[in-house]
Structure 1
């Protein structure tokens, strides 16, 4: 198991953020998803540092050792991207490459749209760039999948929060599994029912020590902070009206062949919105790509970073 370095704490965008760092060089900010932590990047931090990069993995707003504001609206995209800008400011970094997985990927792809002067490049793991939809995402998901679809169900206050927190170990085992559902659409529709049923597909990939880290953290914090990210889909959609849907920084998209939730096909249309895009697919890998296949994930990330960092001149790197 790769151990994390000790955290440091910084003031960023009005919250106290726990940050794990290794290495020196071009900063690469690693953004986790749900239900993950900075710990999800335990295999990438030392690999990036050894290759001459400054790897930076925060516990994001609502997670781990970082603050968990009470208000739901404190978890909208403006706050989440603002946190990353505040992190750069606190670390005196002008620009960074942003790498995101799952929900972290959604934030990462928004950074060059909302804060282009702070972004040297983007790496998406599993999560492709998704342009602004034609209507409220929650309304579209409700119409397509019904009220039991997990993102729609997450809109109800406290229901999912209580269900996941009732047995944290069981919830960790439910989410962090290798292999996908035979009917991923059905699982999306009835996530809480699937959690209760217990007949889950796939197998866990965590060691006992790794599992214990997640269980301890979410036992202390609960899941509300992360679920609140989902409760801002409508607010984010409304606020993004008029935001140009075009990314013009070097971008890498790494998909997982067996990801049932964000399959490689979802990235097929990205070239319409991303001017400088390189794509790869890791075979025999499910949704938790950087933890399931760390060696292959690291190899692709480092190869791209080495090639693309050479394209960045001193003026592009600012105070790095």
Structure 2
């Protein structure tokens, strides 16, 4: 059976969340959480597939994106507030728990829901960004940098240099993206390159080069049709043009607050529920195949399944069949009682 993907909105006194829905309303709930600089649209290959398998699938536009509220202060994009948005969404759906699935900045959100609200988490899955109990912060990730690829003298913070650029030159970072948003979308949403593995990634030299694009607007490159269609490109461009990059980029401006929030996790940050992690074999920023970035997750997750997907960072869009297969296999193996067909 095929289900349409429909648009909805949840409004509370504190926040508005626009979201996409697909599948029978009373079916077991999967909530898909996107990252930077994306949209609910990023899960377009997953929503109908899992609706057809018997799930109610929800994909929100996150705070600062699409049809959801955006704000004017950096601190309004801290993880604790974003988790509260998701709990309001869950309540508005009339549910008390879900399987949470995240990618990129959506991953810290679902990890934080699992660690702070295990009673609302049937299972948790993440694409590209592993669980870090102490928080997805520079203090956590820099010590895990692969120093064979990023010698400390040349790359003191490794591939996470771009996050320091936001902290030091926030307005310049936003202006660089806003100079030509369509070109940014085309430049970002590209498939992974196996030849890039083992070499320093672009994100390691952002401060040295004066910005993402050398300090100017993004140059024009061909759209990568293996990742996004013309219509996808226009949807991302329109949403980012309407809201700008202040909100999306502000997610990077809360390392201290996010670390403090992580310290208040239940069970000392240990996760007992089933966990799925999908490694991007060609993801040079969230590089988990050769570095120690995924090691803390292996220590802190009691029921962890790991799968390697031969993709770059935009995994759900580049390799949707592999992602869907891994998710479906994990749901069937680890959560058979939740999957009622």
Same fold (TM over 0.5): yes
User: Which residue number in structure 2 is paired with residue 317 of structure 1?
Assistant: none
Aligned residue in 1 for 2:212: 192
Secondary structure of the corresponding residue to residue 254 of structure 1: strand
Distance 1:134 1:227 in 2: 15
- Residue 311 of structure 2 corresponds to residue 299 of structure 1: no
CA contact 1:12–1:87 (8 Å) conserved in 2: no
CA distance in 1, matches of 2:315, 2:215: 22
Q: Does 1:255 align with 2:279?
A: yes
SS at match of 1:252: strand
Structure 2 gap segments, 5+ residues each: 144-151
CA distance in 1, matches of 2:112, 2:205: 26
Aligned equivalents of 1:202 and 1:282: distance in 2? 22
SS at match of 1:14: coil
2:3–2:23 contact (8 Å) kept in structure 1 = no
Q: Deviations over 1:141-172 (max 9, x none)?
A: 999239x9211111234221111011001111
Q: Does 1:106 align with 2:118?
A: no
Look up the match of 2:177: 164
Report the more deviating stretch, 25-34 or 65-74: 65-74
Where 1:217 maps in the other structure, the secondary structure is helix
Secondary structure in 2 matching 1:152:
helix
Distance 2:301 2:35 in 1: 22
TM, length-normalised to structure 2: 0.82
Residues 4 and 39 in structure 1, CA contact (< 8 A), matched pair in contact too: no
The 5-angstrom pairing of residues 87-236 of structure 1 reads 87-132=89-134, 137=139, 144-145=156-157, 149-155=161-167, 156-180=169-193, 182=196, 183-190=199-206, 192-193=212-213, 196=216, 198=219, 203=224, 205-236=227-258
1:134 is displaced (CA, Å) by: 12
Residue 42 of structure 2 is aligned to residue 6 of structure 1: no
What is the count of residue pairs matched by the alignment?
A: 312
The SS at the match of 2:106 is: helix
**Aligned-residue CA RMSD in angstroms?**
3.1
Note the C-alpha offset of 1:270. 2.1
- For residue 301 of structure 2, give the secondary structure of its aligned residue in structure 1: coil
User: Which residue number corresponds to residue 262 of structure 2?
Assistant: 240
Cα deviation for residue 202 of structure 1 reads 10
Whole-angstrom CA distance in 2 between matches of 1:134 and 1:304: 24
Please state how far the C-alpha of 1:187 moved relative to its aligned partner.
3.0
- Runs of 5+ consecutive residues of structure 1 not aligned to the other structure: 315-320
Q: CA deviation at 1:271?
A: 2.0
C-alpha distance in 2 between matches for 1:150 and 1:4: 39
SS of the residue corresponding to residue 285 of structure 2 reads coil
Give runs of aligned pairs for residues 33-112 of structure 1, distance below 5 A.
33-112=35-114
The answer for the alignment partner of 1:16 in structure 2 is 16
Distance between the aligned counterparts of 2:231 and 2:137, measured in 1?
43
Once the 2 structures are TM-superposed, how far is the Cα of residue 311 of structure 1 from its aligned partner?
Answer: 4.2
Q: 2:305 aligns with which of 278, 282, 286?
A: 278
C-alpha distance in 2 between matches for 1:34 and 1:126: 13
CA distance in 1, matches of 2:269, 2:320: 31
Q: CA deviation at 1:64?
A: 0.5
Residues 1:28 and 1:130: Cα distance change in structure 2 (over 3 Å): same
Cα distance in structure 1, aligned partners of 2:191 and 2:178: 22
- In 2, the alpha carbon distance for the partners of 1:134 and 1:157 equals 19
**CA–CA distance in structure 1, aligned partners of residues 166 and 93 of structure 2:** 34
Q: Residues 168 and 48 (structure 1 numbering): CA distance in 2 closer, same or farther, change over 3 Å?
A: same
Are the equivalent residues in 1 in contact too, given 2:274–2:303 (CA < 8 A)?
yes
Distance 1:91 1:63 in 2: 20
How far apart are residue 4 of structure 1 and its match?
A: 7.5
Contact 2:39 2:66 in 1 (8 A): yes
Structure 1 runs, 4 residues or longer, greater than 4 Å off? 133-136, 138-143, 194-204, 311-314
1:165 to 1:92, Cα distance in 2 relative to 1, 3 A: same
Q: For residue 32 of structure 2, what is the aligned residue in structure 1?
A: 30
